[in-house]
C-alpha cells in the first residue's frame, strides 16, 4: 500500500505543534484481519472513539485542529475496510473508518503509533479446510459455527466427505458441499434447513395436497366487482380462461359471470381465490393513456421540398438556430442542406418536441407564396395501442359485367389514407406504426369499365419523443397536361399554319409530405386548438 503523509496541528499551552504522519502501512494475518499502522512523529492525544451505523463507521476525534489542505482520503478494494478519511472539524480532527456491515474494528494507541485491526465478518471471512472422511452432519455444524448461523439438517442427511479448501468463504464451502452430496437448502427466518432433493419433493407434494384438501373444504362466497374502465366480458375472459387445476385463477368449484348492463363481474369462489381475483381486477381495470395525433398532409413543389427540409433539419442538432428562429423578415442564422432527392418511403427527419407552432408558421408562409398547399390538417385523440384512420379523396365509379350480360356500377376509393397506431413506452417515448397510401386516378389511361388508379403505398415504424414531429416524404405526384390554341382554318394551312397555332405541354412534379406530431395527453390536460 502506498504511504501517505498527513500533518496535524496540536495546540498545547498556547503554542502550536506540528504532528506529522510519517507512514501508513497495512498487512493481513492468517485470520484475514487487516491491520493498518499509522505512525506519527509525535505522540497524538488520546482520541474520543464512537461507532455509527447504517453505514457502519468507526470515528476517532482528536482534540486538535488540522488545516483544510491536509484533508486526506484512502479507499480500499476487496477489503472489509472500505475507506479511511482524515477530516478537519473546527478545533478537532476526525479519523473516519468506513467498514462493511459485518466487519469489526479494534484500535490501539501506543506513543506515536495508532494501530487499526479490521476483522472481516462471517460473510467475507475466508477459511481453509483439510478434512478426511468427516461426517457430513459434523461438517455442517462446523460451517454453521464459522458463519454464525443456525443450520438444521434433516434425518435424510448423512454420510462422510473429504475436502481440502484454501481461503474460501464459509458460504461458498457450504454450496460446494451441498452440490457434491445432492442436497438443497431453504431459509426459514435466520436459519437454514438442509435436506435431500427427494425429501424436499416429498414435502412439497404433501404441502400441495394439504392445500388442495383445505381449498376443497373451504366455504364458497359470492363477490361483485364493478369495473370502471374495461368491459366486464374482457376481464371475465381473463379469469375464466383456465381453472385453477390448469394453472388459472378459478378453483374447481368457482364460477364467474359478467353483467354487461352494469359492467360488473359476479365471482363465486373461496376467499383465497376471490382475493387473487381482486388483485387482478385492480391491476387490469385501469384507464388507457391517450395520445393526441396531429397530422399535416402537405403537397409541395419538388423544388420547395428540399428548401423546406433544409430549414427544418436544424432541429435534429440541438443548439443550431435556423430561419424558424429568425425575426420576421430577418435572414436565417444557419441552414442544413439535405440531399437533392429523398428515397421513396424514407423518413426525411425527426424534429425535437416544441416545434409544432413553428412548423405551422412555415407552412402558412409556403401557402402564401404559392409553393404548396396543406391538403389536410386533422387532429384526433386516440387511446394507446389503438389505430387512427384519416382519409381524404373521392370515389371512382366503374362498371362490372355479370354472367347474364348485365352491368352493375361499383365504386372504388381514390383517397389519401393515413393510418397511425401509437404505442407508449414506460419511458414516455411513443412508437408509431404508420401506413400511408395514395390512390390517384389516371384519366389518360382508361380500361373497359373504368379508369386506372396509380397507387403509392408506404409503411413505416418510428420511435419519437413525446411532442416531437416525424416528417415523412417520398410520395411523388406527377401531372402531365397539354394545351392547344389555334385559329380555325388558318391553322390547317400547309407550312404557314404553324404561325396560327400554339401547343404547350406542361409537366409538373409535386411531393407529398406528412408531418405527424404525437403528444401524450395526461389526465385533466386542456387541449387547445393549435397546441403542439
Query: DSSP labels for 462-514?
Result: EEE-TT-EEEEEEEEEEEEEEEEEE-TTGGGSTTGGGGGEEEEEEEEEEEEEE
pLDDT number for residue 100 = 80
The answer to whether residue 22 scores a pLDDT higher than 90 is no
pLDDT bin (cut points 50, 70, 90) of residue 226 is: very high
pLDDT band with cut points at 50, 70 and 90 for residue 310? low
More confident residue, 156 or 345: 156
**Which of helix, strand or coil describes residue 218?**
coil
Residue 331 has pLDDT above 70, yes or no: no
For the CA atoms of 273, 236, 433, 367, what is the dihedral angle to 10 degrees?
-120
- Reported as a pLDDT band with limits 50, 70 and 90, residue 170 is confident
Farthest CA pair distance, the chain? 131
Q: Is the pLDDT of residue 317 over 60?
A: no
Which of the two residues, 101 and 1, has the higher pLDDT score?
Answer: 101
Split at pLDDT 50, 70, 90, the class of 334 is very low
Does residue 337 have a pLDDT over 60? no
pLDDT at position 356 is 63
- Could you tell me which residues come within 8 angstroms of residue 360 by beta carbon, excluding any fewer than 6 positions away? 296, 530
In whole angstroms, give the CA distance from residue 42 to residue 22. 10
pLDDT band per the 50, 70, 90 thresholds, residue 380: confident
Contacts of 100 (CB under 8 A, 6+ apart): 56, 80, 81, 82, 120, 121, 124
The pLDDT score that the predictor gives to residue 9 is 41
- pLDDT confidence band for 19 (50 / 70 / 90): low
Percent of the chain clearing pLDDT 90 (strictly above): 5
Q: Which of the four pLDDT bands, split at 50, 70 and 90, describes residue 154?
A: confident
Average pLDDT (220-227) is 92
Report the pLDDT value the prediction gives residue 262, as an integer from 0 to 100: 92
Using the structure block, give the residue that is written with the C-alpha cell 359485367. Answer: 401
Q: Report the alpha-carbon angle 464-530-321, nearest 5.
A: 60
Phi, psi dihedrals of residue 220, rounded to the nearest 5°: -105, 135
**pLDDT for position 335:** 34
Question: Quick check: 49 pLDDT over 60?
Answer: yes
Flag whether pLDDT at 14 surpasses 50.
no
111 contacts 103 by C-beta, under 8 angstroms: no
CA distance 202 to 210: 12
- Angle among Cα 107, 108, 110 to the nearest 5 degrees reads 155
- Residue 423: pLDDT band with limits 50, 70, 90: very high
pLDDT at 484: 65
With a cut of 90, say whether residue 103 has pLDDT above it. no
Mean pLDDT of the 295-322 span = 60
pLDDT tens-digit readout, 127-145? 788 888 888 888 888 888 8
Residue 483 pLDDT exceeds 50: yes
pLDDT of residue 508: 65
Mean residue pLDDT across the chain: 75
Higher pLDDT, 481 or 201: 201
CA dihedral 449, 454, 459, 465 (to 10 degrees): -120
CA–CA separation, 520 and 424 (whole Å): 8
Residue of 328, 337, 420, 348 whose CA lies nearest to 383: 420
| More reliable by pLDDT, 290 or 454 | 290
C-alpha distances in Å from residue 425, one per residue of 356, 430, 518, 520: 22, 6, 13, 11
Answer yes or no: is pLDDT of 51 > 50. Answer: yes
Amino acid at each position: 500500500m502506498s504511504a501517505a503523509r498527513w500533518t496535524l496541528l496540536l495546540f498545547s499551552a498556547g503554542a502550536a505543534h506540528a504532528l506529522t504522519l510519517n507512514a501508513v502501512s497495512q498487512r493481513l494475518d492468517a485470520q484475514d484481519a487487516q491491520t493498518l499502522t499509522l505512525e506519527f512523529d509525535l505522540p497524538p492525544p488520546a482520541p474520543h472513539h464512537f461507532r455509527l451505523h447504517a453505514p457502519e463507521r468507526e470515528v476517532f476525534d482528536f482534540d486538535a485542529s488540522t488545516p483544510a489542505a491536509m484533508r486526506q482520503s484512502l479507499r480500499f478494494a476487496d477489503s472489509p475496510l472500505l475507506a479511511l478519511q482524515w477530516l478537519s472539524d473546527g478545533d478537532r480532527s476526525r479519523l473516519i473508518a468506513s467498514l462493511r456491515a459485518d466487519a469489526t474494528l479494534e484500535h490501539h494507541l501506543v506513543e506515536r503509533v495508532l494501530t487499526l485491526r479490521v476483522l472481516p465478518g462471517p460473510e467475507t471471512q475466508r477459511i481453509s479446510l483439510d478434512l478426511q472422511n468427516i461426517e457430513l452432519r459434523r461438517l455442517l455444524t462446523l460451517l454453521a459455527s464459522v458463519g454464525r448461523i443456525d443450520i438444521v439438517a434433516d434425518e435424510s442427511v448423512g454420510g462422510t466427505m473429504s475436502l481440502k479448501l484454501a481461503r474460501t468463504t464459509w458460504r461458498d464451502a457450504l454450496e460446494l458441499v451441498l452440490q457434491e452430496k445432492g442436497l438443497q437448502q431453504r431459509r426459514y427466518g435466520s436459519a437454514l434447513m438442509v435436506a435431500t432433493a427427494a425429501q424436499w419433493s416429498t414435502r412439497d407434494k404433501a404441502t400441495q395436497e394439504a392445500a388442495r384438501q383445505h381449498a376443497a373444504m373451504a366455504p364458497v362466497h359470492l363477490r361483485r366487482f364493478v369495473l370502471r374502465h374495461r368491459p366486464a366480458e374482457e376481464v371475465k375472459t381473463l379469469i375464466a380462461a383456465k381453472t385453477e387445476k390448469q394453472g388459472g385463477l378459478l378453483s374447481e368449484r368457482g364460477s364467474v359471470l359478467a353483467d354487461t348492463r352494469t359492467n360488473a363481474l359476479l365471482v363465486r369462489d373461496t376467499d383465497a381465490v376471490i382475493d387473487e381475483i381482486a388483485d387482478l381486477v385492480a391491476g387490469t381495470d385501469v384507464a388507457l393513456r391517450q395520445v393526441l395525433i396531429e397530422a399535416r398532409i402537405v403537397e409541395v413543389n419538388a423544388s420547395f421540398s428540399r428548401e423546406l427540409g433544409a430549414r427544418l433539419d436544424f432541429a435534429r442538432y440541438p443548439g443550431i438556430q435556423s430561419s424558424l428562429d429568425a425575426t420576421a423578415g430577418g435572414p436565417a442564422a444557419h441552414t442544413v442542406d439535405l440531399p437533392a432527392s429523398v428515397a421513396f418511403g424514407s423518413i426525411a427527419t425527426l424534429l425535437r418536441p416544441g416545434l409544432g407552432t413553428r412548423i405551422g408558421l412555415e407552412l402558412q408562409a409556403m401557402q402564401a407564396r404559392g409553393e404548396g398547399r396543406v391538403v389536410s390538417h386533422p387532429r384526433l385523440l386516440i387511446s394507446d395501442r389503438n389505430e387512427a384512420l384519416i382519409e381524404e379523396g373521392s370515389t371512382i365509379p366503374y362498371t362490372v359485367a355479370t354472367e347474364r350480360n348485365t352491368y352493375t356500377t361499383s365504386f372504388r376509393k381514390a383517397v389519401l389514407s393515413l393510418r397511425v397506431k401509437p404505442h407508449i413506452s414506460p419511458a414516455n417515448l411513443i412508437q408509431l406504426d404508420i401506413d400511408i397510401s395514395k390512390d390517384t386516378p389516371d384519366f389518360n389511361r382508361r380500361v373497359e369499365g373504368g379508369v386506372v388508379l396509380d397507387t403509392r403505398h408506404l409503411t413505416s415504424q418510428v420511435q419519437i419523443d413525446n411532442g416531437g414531429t416525424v416528417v415523412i416524404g417520398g410520395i411523388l405526384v406527377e401531372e402531365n397536361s397539354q394545351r392547344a390554341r389555334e385559329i380555325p382554318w388558318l391553322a390547317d394551312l400547309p407550312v404557314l399554319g404553324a404561325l396560327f397555332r400554339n401547343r404547350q405541354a406542361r409537366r409538373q412534379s409535386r411531393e407529398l409530405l406528412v408531418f405527424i406530431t404525437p403528444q401524450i395527453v395526461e389526465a385533466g390536460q386542456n387541449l387547445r386548438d393549435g397546441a403542439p
